[in-house]
Structure 1
């Protein structure tokens, strides 16, 4: 990235983490599991804690050497350390690496892409992907983990995958992400790995997207009210602003922005239609 280019991704992460910490008291950006909970911002922390509990239930009942791949802001690592595990975190973002060091100071933080991460063979009992598997090429994620696992070790994958209904059009499927499930199954079948357990939590996780959508709709409502007042009291200024927006932002991007701010297509039904959220334990067969 050029030194004069604004890092919008880092700004977005910073704002998102700040908002989530203000709302819940923790820097978690992952999905929640909403079984038995009313879907509201007030219950977001409880839903995210339910997710963490379900994720940690996949871990062995003993202290482990855990590689937290794409460890976010270090909240998961902090909880793993409190349970007596040792944790290495791999995270490529300097901003998130800094948050990991602040939130989980006892963890070893490796500021790099997972593809570039180096460690001695058989260094870890668990390779953990908590909503990070989707960002790593399919031909590199699991194969690299196989070189890092100690005998008896396992890979835990908790993430979204694109369902067979996903066509690749983000306007029609605006929520979710991840590798296509068929491609993941093919990759898994080609490797010396067996599925120890697999749980589909799509319907439990799906309401999470409506919390985010509600926040964006608040922003959209505010902008609409400003636009209405400009139309009444400052029509010339409004015309100039609209003209500038049309010149700077393509029609498709404007449509995406309108969808995000003023519509409700990011809902649980669309999430469940175009995504599959899996919790998996994988173990080498050799």
Structure 2
């Protein structure tokens, strides 16, 4: 299991336990870093992300009723959209998250265990939705598959790599490479394309604060007490996890690093009628 998958599952589980919605995406902070840095602020920003996503869906010409949620995570976005009157089908390769989705979505909601590149169905949708999932997929394949299944448009709320930081396997590409592939295939045209990086990075500011100022001191006090009361258990803990625990209080600068290496964008596209190449 890849570390990124573990991180996503853990994020979704925390969101499920603390806030009841199970969002796996980052928070959206249109007003920047909040005065109070808390898990509750992240939860509220995750909800704001969903609201911004729904707003973007509403701009697709012709109106949207049927959505294919690609990389649907725990089904939290799908549930919120269903509550707004949309018919939503989900596809994701994560069996763990799909089980969480099936438990929370209305009976009969399609949830398919599959990579989008290999997804097959006779169904068609108004919209393909990528909420922090597009970067996992080869962008050329993602656009070709979207052209097969989306009759009206595509909404992408996700990050791209900065020039020189892209991966070489077709995933995590640059924004420029994405636009070039959209033009090459010709199945969609971009209606809006907004840089949301500054509204997303406060997520990492809060994560860093909670890690360094709340979690790390608690862990250090626990380790000290364990060494005093149960030295052999403390030895075993330190042997297995000591180096990892030592890193908890270190500043990572993840917010700055994310902004240097990524640009987070909200993109709405409409179908042109052309066939994908």
Q: TM-score, normalised by structure 1?
A: 0.77
Closer, same or farther in 2 for the Cα pair 1:143/1:277, shift >3 Å?
same
The CA deviation string for residues 4-26 of structure 1, in whole angstroms up to 9 with x for no partner, is xxx87776555433322333232
CA RMSD after TM alignment: 3.2
Q: 2:11 aligns with which of 12, 16, 22?
A: 16
Closer, same or farther in 2 for the Cα pair 1:200/1:167, shift >3 Å?
closer
2: CA distance between counterparts of 1:230 and 1:102? 39
1: CA distance between counterparts of 2:225 and 2:148? 61
Q: 1:119 aligns with which of 115, 118, 121?
A: 121
Give the corresponding residue for 1:55.
53
Is the Cα contact below 8 Å between 1:101 and 1:109 reproduced in 2? yes
Is the Cα contact below 8 Å between 2:57 and 2:64 reproduced in 1? no
Gaps in structure 1 of 5+ consecutive residues:
2-6, 169-176, 247-253
Closer, same or farther in 2 for the Cα pair 1:14/1:203, shift >3 Å?
closer
Is the Cα contact below 8 Å between 2:204 and 2:255 reproduced in 1? yes
Does residue 104 of the first structure (1) align with residue 105 of the second (2)?
yes
Is the Cα contact below 8 Å between 1:165 and 1:273 reproduced in 2? no
Deviates more, 1:232-241 or 1:260-269: 232-241
Is the Cα contact below 8 Å between 2:78 and 2:90 reproduced in 1? yes
Deviates more, 1:209-218 or 1:93-102: 209-218
The CA deviation string for residues 164-223 of structure 1, in whole angstroms up to 9 with x for no partner, is 36488xxxxxxxx94333432332332203211111111011101123333433443344
Q: 2:21 aligns with which of 20, 26, 32?
A: 26
Gaps in structure 2 of 5+ consecutive residues:
none
1: CA distance between counterparts of 2:135 and 2:149? 19
The CA deviation string for residues 10-66 of structure 1, in whole angstroms up to 9 with x for no partner, is 765554333223332321121111123434322222211221111111124745110
Is the Cα contact below 8 Å between 1:63 and 1:84 reproduced in 2? no
2: CA distance between counterparts of 1:186 and 1:258? 44
Q: TM-score, normalised by structure 2?
A: 0.79
2: CA distance between counterparts of 1:63 and 1:164? 34
Is the Cα contact below 8 Å between 2:15 and 2:43 reproduced in 1? no
Give the corresponding residue for 1:271.
258
Q: 1:185 aligns with which of 156, 166, 179?
A: 179
Q: How many residues align?
A: 261
Give the corresponding residue for 1:200.
195
